[in-house]
Amino acid sequence: MSLRFHNQLTKKVEPFTPLTKGRVLLYTCGPTVYDRLHIGNWTAYIYWDVLVRILKAHNLNVTRVMNITDVGHLVSDGDEGEDKLEKGARREGKTAWDIAELYTNDFLDGMQQLNLLPPEHTAKATEFIEEQLQLVRTLKEKGFTYQTSDGIYFDTSKFPRYDDFADLHLEAQKAGARVEANPEKRAPSDFALWKFTPEGETRDMQWPTPVDLLDEETERPGFPGWHLECSAMAMSLLGNTIDVHTGGIDHIPVHHTNEIAQSEAATGQRLSNFWLHNNHIKAGGTKISKSLENGLTLEDLAKKGFHPLDLRLFTLQSHYRTEGNFTFENLAAAQHRRLRWRNIAAIRHQIHDTLQEHEGDDTYGLYAASQALVEELSDDINTPGAFRLIDEVFGKLESARLGTIHRHSLVSFLTTIDELLGLQLLESTKDIADEPKRLIIERERARESKDWPASDALRTQIEKSGISIRDTADGTIWEYTS
């Protein structure tokens, strides 16, 4: 069973083989921490969490770096405008450092709520300033930079492969077509490695620019460019060439293209063998963005009665390379699906361990289903295919008699689902308390004696415990109601 992923380098799905046997070096583009993440932002981290899980299922030791952009991400792709952290600080009357800490912690808390595996390294851009300056130094020594009045720029004309990754066709572009025009830039595609603090201003986040990086000996405080940060952190923590780099499709034409240019110009080596990108999610068919005020947060969903895992399941119903569409109706359907799956998981508490699996019974080949689930996800993270498989298996279990379900193989299948998809079906389905169990037994006795009024009264009492019951040929089965 092999792993296959869609690689932006080759524009096709191809087999994945790590650089070093048994080990994967992975870089994930992390958040810019100037505000709470909205549901569109979270989509990427949910998909890349499943990527990590499937790599581990193949017995690969994953070392992942995820950056925290806490400085240098300007509001435009053209290296113009205000730093998003400075903008957030002005909005909330705090310092940029305060904003970075506040929303970094909020992001890390959201990761826990969504059951996202923590990366081995969570790297803050502000903690890698020296490494970023060294990368600028290397690029200058190799002739890839030039200086303007507002910063040090990368000269894309010196990197002939610049437009290959995103099929940019730069020769056909006019100035300002892709990014805002800057008269001092030699080409519209050139990008800032290091920006200078404007004359007469003092930023919350700024550092001295080393004299050897400047064309003249003068004091020019500055700050790193957004693209520079990721290259410096990836190469510092993982090495010059990594196995996989992930991000959103919006990163392809600018951020990742610039990462490749500056990294490979500096080292002469390929930055990453695989580049994986997730598509966007829209809200009611409209782009999600904070500027449009439709950027719902995890807190917003909670206020409407949704668990973060409802968003996780909703997201994974779509393939990472397809465009999703969020509506509360769609989220409610995902919530219903998760509740159904939890009730299947709860069946394990109602099966006796002494029951044996029937030989030749292909209806409940749950061990085989676990393997099939791994195979679905190994094929370019095919989460919709994985969900169809789970629904098929669970549908058969719903119509099965308890006496024909093998408890150990059911638990094994549920464990596989949780390990690969992170839905916490086992953790979220604890056994019910002794009192409702006693009431269920008492009701069964009332039914046996045809005492229907007592049976109905006991049902009402049982349902006050947050569970419902249904009567089957094997007896009463309880289910969660929320």
pLDDT given at position 403 = 81
User: Residue type for 76, please?
Assistant: S
Of the listed ranges 73-77, 246-250, 358-362, the one predicted with least confidence: 358-362
Distance between CA atoms of residues 267 and 271, nearest Å? 9
* In contact, 364 and 398? CB cutoff 8 Å: no
Three-state SS sequence of 162-209: CCCCCCCCHHHCCCCCCCCCCCCCCCCCCEEEEEECCCCCCCCCCECC
The model carries a pTM of 0.94
Q: How many CB atoms lie within 10 A of CB 57?
A: 17
Tell which residue, 223, 226, 257, has the closest CA to residue 74: 226
pLDDT at 257 over 50: yes
User: To which H or E segment does residue 133 belong?
Assistant: helix 129-141
201 burial level (CB within 10 Å; 0-12, 13-18, 19+) = exposed
What single-letter DSSP state applies at residue 155? -
pLDDT given at position 360 = 41
User: To which H or E segment does residue 392 belong?
Assistant: helix 383-398
pLDDT band of residue 181 (cuts 50, 70, 90) is low
Of the listed ranges 115-119, 282-286, 325-329, the one predicted with least confidence: 282-286
pLDDT band of residue 73 (cuts 50, 70, 90) is confident
Does CATH number 3.40.50.620 belong to domain 19-278?
Answer: yes
The more confidently predicted of residues 74 and 70 is: 70
The more confidently predicted of residues 390 and 367 is: 390
Cα-based angle 444, 447, 448 (whole degrees, multiple of 5): 90
* In contact, 69 and 132? CB cutoff 8 Å: no
pLDDT given at position 180 = 52
Of the listed ranges 11-25, 35-49, 264-278, 355-369, the one predicted with least confidence: 355-369
The residue ranges of every structural domain in the chain are 19-278, 298-421, 434-480
Q: Which two tokens stand for residue 72?
A: 């240098």
- Dihedral (CA of 246, 250, 255, 256) sign: positive
Predicted confidence (pLDDT) per residue in 360-381, tens digit: 454 448 889 999 999 999 999 9
pLDDT given at position 355 = 46
Q: How many helices (H) and strands (E) does the chain have?
A: 14, 16
pLDDT given at position 72 = 86
pLDDT band of residue 76 (cuts 50, 70, 90) is confident
Residue at token pair 């007469």: 200
* Mean pLDDT, residues 455-482 taken together: 90
pLDDT given at position 362 = 45
Tell which residue, 328, 230, 293, 310, has the closest CA to residue 42: 310
Distance between CA atoms of residues 274 and 120, nearest Å? 19
* Mean pLDDT, residues 301-326 taken together: 97
Mean pLDDT, all residues of the chain: 92
Give the CB-side neighbour count of residue 198, counting CA atoms within 13 A. Answer: 5
Please provide the distance, in angstroms rounded to a whole number, between the alpha carbons at the two ends of the chain: 38
pLDDT at 326 over 50: yes
pLDDT given at position 218 = 86
Predicted confidence (pLDDT) per residue in 10-31, tens digit: 999 999 999 999 999 999 999 9
Of the listed ranges 82-86, 91-95, 162-166, 225-229, the one predicted with least confidence: 82-86
* Mean pLDDT, residues 70-76 taken together: 86
pLDDT given at position 309 = 98
Predicted confidence (pLDDT) per residue in 431-452, tens digit: 999 999 999 989 999 998 999 9
Q: What are phi and psi of 242, to 5 degrees?
A: -115, 175
Rg, C-alpha atoms of the chain:
27
pLDDT at 428 over 60: yes
* Mean pLDDT, residues 192-201 taken together: 93
* In contact, 431 and 411? CB cutoff 8 Å: no
pLDDT at 350 over 50: yes
Distance between CA atoms of residues 444 and 470, nearest Å? 11
Tell which residue, 77, 51, 61, has the closest CA to residue 24: 61
